[in-house]
Amino acid sequence: MRTRALHLDLKADFTKKTLSGHAELTLDWLDKTARRLDLDTRELTIAKIEAQDARGRWAPVKYALDAFDSEKGQALHIDLATQAPKVRIYYRTAPTASALQWLTPAQTLSGKRPFMFSQSETINARSWVPVQDTPSMRFTYTARIQAPTGLRVVMSADNDPKATGKGGWKFNMPQPIPSYLDRHRRAGGAHPGRAHRRLRRAGPHRRRSLRIRRHREDGRRRRIAVRSVSLGALRHAGVAAFVPDRRHGKPAPDLPHPDHDRGRPQPGRPDCP
């Protein structure tokens, strides 16, 4: 069995330092006799799990968690009567989730609003999403993330640049990605530069540097944002960031599009003399 698509519907609570809501997994059953779904988790509080039948109806199902392992977390076993096309898991993350970094206003440059970002590498995605947390499993995803008023959610996926956050911030990643790159992998679709231009517009905070690293994976060239310093580092495998929403203020200047430097020598690249 493999996950084909993931939908996240989550709400951020900066007071409790948690994300809560549900994850909906669309499944491809490779073994026609299989009736159990096994997922990776770490410190997730499971409220309930539902499975969808062939007619689109949802019903609760039984599940069990293995004993906690400090490195791997807990395996989640979901027992199904049939090979359900979709499964919904309602849960809440822990304040100590290894992938989520919660910063107080005092820890930000402005000192006015909190900030949160994620780092799912290498097997930390399981601490905030119940998934098959292995690089061999690739899936598309959509998301609706609710944040407190005054904060904007940034994810490396297609979204409406004119969105206001009313009803949640919505995202769509149509290219399959592994879980450790969940929400911050650019494989086609929107360009990584756009996410960081949105981040620049989100507040008056100056970033002292932004480094774009080029590397090859699966024979194709990728551009991945490695670091944007001062307010908080959005690293190579982050998920989402909650940043001050300054859409009505004076926007910061755009970052140069990486394609502008195409063909020019760039220090640090393997193909530079």
The topology under which CATH files domain 100-252 is Immunoglobulin-like (2.60.40)
Distance CA 198, CA 204 (A): 12
Q: Return per-residue pLDDT of the chain as tens, 273 residues.
A: 899 999 999 999 999 999 999 999 999 999 999 999 999 999 999 999 999 998 999 999 999 999 999 999 999 999 999 999 999 999 999 999 999 999 999 998 889 899 999 988 889 999 999 999 998 899 999 999 999 988 999 887 899 989 999 999 999 999 998 887 664 322 222 333 344 333 333 444 434 333 444 444 444 444 433 333 222 333 333 345 666 655 544 444 444 444 444 444 545 445 444
Domain ranges of the chain: 2-92, 100-252
Task: Supply the DSSP symbol for 122.
Answer: T
The topology under which CATH files domain 2-92 is Immunoglobulin-like (2.60.40)
Contact assessment for residue 78 and residue 88, using Cβ atoms and an 8 Å cutoff: no
Distance CA 19, CA 193 (A): 27
Query: What's the predicted TM-score (pTM) here?
Result: 0.70
pLDDT in tens, 123-174: 999 999 999 999 889 999 999 999 998 899 988 789 998 999 999 999 999 9
> Hey, do 2-92 and 100-252 end up sharing a CATH topology, with the first three levels equal?
yes
Contact assessment for residue 198 and residue 212, using Cβ atoms and an 8 Å cutoff: no
Q: How many Cα atoms sit within 13 Å of 16 on the Cβ side? A: 9
Contact residues for 135 (Cβ-Cβ < 8 A; gap 6+):
178, 179, 180
